[in-house]
Amino acid sequence: MSPIDRRILTHMNWGLIAMTLLLFGVGVANLYSASGFRVDDGIAVSSFYSKQLLWGAVGMGGMLAVMLFDYRHLKSLAWPVFIVTLLLLVAVPLFGVTVYGAKRWLSFGFFNLQPSELAKISTLIIAARLLSRGGEPLDWGELFKILGICLIPAALIVTQPDLGTTLNVLLNVGGVILYRGIARHVFKTCIIALPPLIPLGWFVLHDYQKQRILTFLDPGRDPLGAGYHIIQSQIAIGSGQIWGKGFLGGTQSQLRFLPEKHTDFAVAVFGEEWGFIGNMILLGLFCLFLLAIFNSARDAKDRFGSFLCAGVFFYFFWQILINMGMVVGLMPVVGIPLPFISYGGSATIVNFCLIGLVLNVSMRRFVFKAS
Rounded Cα distance between 283 and 262, Å, is 18
For residue range 194-208, what is the model confidence (pLDDT) as tens digits?
888 777 778 777 777
For residue range 276-304, what is the model confidence (pLDDT) as tens digits?
999 999 999 999 999 999 999 999 989 99
Rounded Cα distance between 212 and 334, Å, is 8
The helix (run of H) or strand (run of E) holding residue 120 is helix 115-131
What is the predicted pLDDT for the residue at 352? Answer: 96
Residues 360, 70 contacting (CB under 8 angstroms)? yes
> How sure is the predictor about 316, in pLDDT bands with cuts at 50, 70 and 90?
very high
pTM over 0.95: no
For residue range 62-121, what is the model confidence (pLDDT) as tens digits?
999 999 888 999 999 999 999 999 999 999 988 888 876 778 888 877 677 888 888 988
For residue range 140-189, what is the model confidence (pLDDT) as tens digits?
999 999 999 989 999 999 888 788 888 889 999 999 999 999 999 998 99
What is the predicted pLDDT for the residue at 371? Answer: 46
Residues 250, 282 contacting (CB under 8 angstroms)? no
Rounded Cα distance between 311 and 320, Å, is 14
Q: Kindly list the strands in the beta sheet with 112-113, ordered across the sheet, starting from the edge strand earlier in the chain.
A: 97-99, 102-107, 112-113
CB within 8 Å of 188: residues ≥ 6 apart: none
The most confident of 39-43, 230-234, 272-276, by mean pLDDT: 272-276
- Amino acid identity for residue 35 in this structure: S
For residue 51, pLDDT over 80 is answered with: yes
Residues 318, 138 contacting (CB under 8 angstroms)? no
Percent of the chain with pLDDT over 70: 94
Rounded Cα distance between 172 and 163, Å, is 14
3-class secondary-structure state, position 327: helix
